[in-house]
Chain A
Amino acid sequence: MNLPDFDYYIPASLQDACALLAEKGPGAKVLAGGTDLLNKMKHELMAPEVLISLKKLDQLTSIDYVSGKGVVIGSMATHNAISNSSLLQEKYLSVCEAAQHMANNQVRNVGTIGGNIVNAVPSADLPPIFIALGALLTLVSTNGERVMPLEEFFTGPGKTHLAPDELLTGIVIPDNSFTGSTYIKFGLRRSGALAVVGVAVAVEMDRNICKDARIALGAVAPVPMRAKKAEAMMIGNAITDELLEQVGVCASTECNPISDIRGSEEYRRDMVRVFTKRALRKAINNGHV
């Protein structure tokens, strides 16, 4: 399969990248890992005239702790860089696990977190855990920088608030008091399969009392979503298996899945019930896993 023709630029600075994006207009697309974009171009689902590669922007691959801010992950960090990051393994193993269990090794060596987010695929594996942890996006254009909660970024399948001349430069997990988090995914195979249902949770526990909880669901609505009613049932309460079952039932009524070749609406809803319960129990008992 061949690719159509396009112009290619590989800017050496973020400033140059932004200037090029602004100059080339809507016919230009950012090229990160290309694992999604190049496939879409092969299928003629997209035909950008210009690709602007971010490969030379080394500063976008870093994963660092910035005091007063939180863990800052560059948008060009690959899935394997995330899963092998000692900083993330120590602070949010849940994030490493989510990155480790998606796609396959070859794709994880190339695909980036930025591409996974900007793609806005409802079943994408990284957004739920980052939404649960309250992550913020840094968006940069020639007009400057803005910060947006990841939770508010998506507007529909394949659609986001990213302006055509904007770049996603980083994802920040702000300092927080969550005591546990996890992402669990159901796919039809263990490797290289998209999520049929993905559930991420983050909890703050004070002994057996839940002080804060976030539940983020993937693949069961047009965009990754929070199950806020289910979260509210937990906050301030002692955790019991009965309560977690009720929270799961509530999350399954809040989501809005479709039926497709990977699973029916009914099946997805029931899996949300089971996985919400299971993910919460895991994060409550085991911390960031």
Chain B
Amino acid sequence: MQVVVDNNGIKRYLVTLNINGDSYTRVIKANTLLVKFLREEIDLTGTKKGCELGDCGSCTVLMDGKPVNSCIVLAVEADGHEITTIEGVAQNNKLDRIQESFIENAAIQCGYCTPGMVLSAKALLTQNPHPTEQEVRTAIAGNLCRCTGYVNIVKAVLVAADEQ
């Protein structure tokens, strides 16, 4: 990894992340968290910050297809990896069926948990197109929702799976 040292002796690292299909090259400090990189360097603010400790899942993104909490991943560690954020889920201006299903099944109230929920659901359905209710619950267990009580979220994911 290429290192750039400025006049004050501060080191920065040249990283290239593939985010939602586009390549972004930036020179960043090692202490830049992935969530900060996405929100502040790339202006993709769909990824939310809640607990910032890996507990709540608001900051969930997919890294090489797997859900991770971007608040506990360093951006330098995502160098060369493929990241999908909520902005990358809709294709050709058309919402993903999971997103449609969340709307149709009233699985969104304040919406703060929704980006993370949709990405956890997306990763699940990609890997396991016809999950059981228990598998859906396990997949979203790291995404806390303070509004819905989860019932409609689980339903929305199951409905989206049925439609596949």
Main secondary structure of the interface of A (DSSP, over half): loop
Q: What distance in Å separates the Cβ of B28 from its nearest Cβ neighbour in chain A?
A: 10
Q: Check: B52 CB closer than 8 A to any chain A CB.
A: yes
Nearest-CB residue, chain A, relative to B57: A106
Docked CA distance A3–B68 (Å) = 18
Q: Check: A1 CB closer than 8 A to any chain B CB.
A: yes
Docked CA distance A80–B139 (Å) = 12
Contact A34 B69 (CB under 8 A): no
Please name all residues of chain B whose beta carbon is closer than 8 Å to the beta carbon of A35 when the two chains form the complex: 54, 72
Contact B53 A104 (CB under 8 A): no
Q: Check: B11 CB closer than 8 A to any chain A CB.
A: yes
Contact A2 B1 (CB under 8 A): no
Number of A-B contacts (CB under 8 A): 82
Q: What distance in Å separates the Cβ of B103 from its nearest Cβ neighbour in chain A?
A: 24
- Give the contact stretch, choosing among A5-13, A129-137, A173-181: A5-13
Nearest-CB residue, chain A, relative to B31: A3
Please name all residues of chain A whose beta carbon is closer than 8 Å to the beta carbon of B139 when the two chains form the complex: 105
Q: Check: B141 CB closer than 8 A to any chain A CB.
A: yes
Docked CA distance A34–B73 (Å) = 7
Docked CA distance A106–B72 (Å) = 10
Contact A192 B72 (CB under 8 A): no
Contact A109 B67 (CB under 8 A): yes
Of the candidates A1, A51, A55, A109, the one whose C-beta lies within 8 Å of that of B68 is A109
Q: Chain B: how many interface residues by the 8 Å CB criterion?
A: 31
Chain B positions 105 through 138: 1 when the CB is less than 8 Å from some CB of chain A, otherwise 0: 0000000000000001000000000000000001
Contact A34 B72 (CB under 8 A): yes
Nearest-CB residue, chain A, relative to B66: A109
Contact A6 B68 (CB under 8 A): no
Please name all residues of chain A whose beta carbon is closer than 8 Å to the beta carbon of B96 when the two chains form the complex: none
Q: Check: A159 CB closer than 8 A to any chain B CB.
A: no
Q: Check: A107 CB closer than 8 A to any chain B CB.
A: yes
Q: Check: A110 CB closer than 8 A to any chain B CB.
A: yes
Q: Check: A190 CB closer than 8 A to any chain B CB.
A: yes
Please name all residues of chain B whose beta carbon is closer than 8 Å to the beta carbon of A34 when the two chains form the complex: 72-74, 77
Docked CA distance A4–B68 (Å) = 22
Chain A interface size range: 20 to 34
Given A53-B77, A105-B138, A106-B60, are A6 and B31 also a contact pair (CB < 8 Å)?
A: yes
Q: Check: A91 CB closer than 8 A to any chain B CB.
A: no
Q: Check: B55 CB closer than 8 A to any chain A CB.
A: yes
Q: Check: A258 CB closer than 8 A to any chain B CB.
A: no
Given A6-B30, A6-B31, are A106 and B74 also a contact pair (CB < 8 Å)?
A: no
Q: Check: A155 CB closer than 8 A to any chain B CB.
A: no
Binding site for A on B (CB under 8 A): 1, 10-11, 13, 29-31, 33, 36, 52-55, 57, 60, 63, 66-69, 71-74, 76-77, 120, 138-139, 141-142
Pairs A–B under 8 Å by Cβ, sample size 9? A2-B31, A2-B36, A8-B76, A39-B53, A51-B30, A105-B67, A109-B68, A110-B69, A192-B142
Closest 9 CB pairs of A and B: A104-B142, A8-B30, A191-B141, A3-B31, A1-B52, A109-B66, A106-B69, A106-B142, A106-B67
Binding site for B on A (CB under 8 A): 1-8, 10, 31, 34-35, 38-39, 42, 51, 53, 55, 80, 103-107, 109-110, 190-192
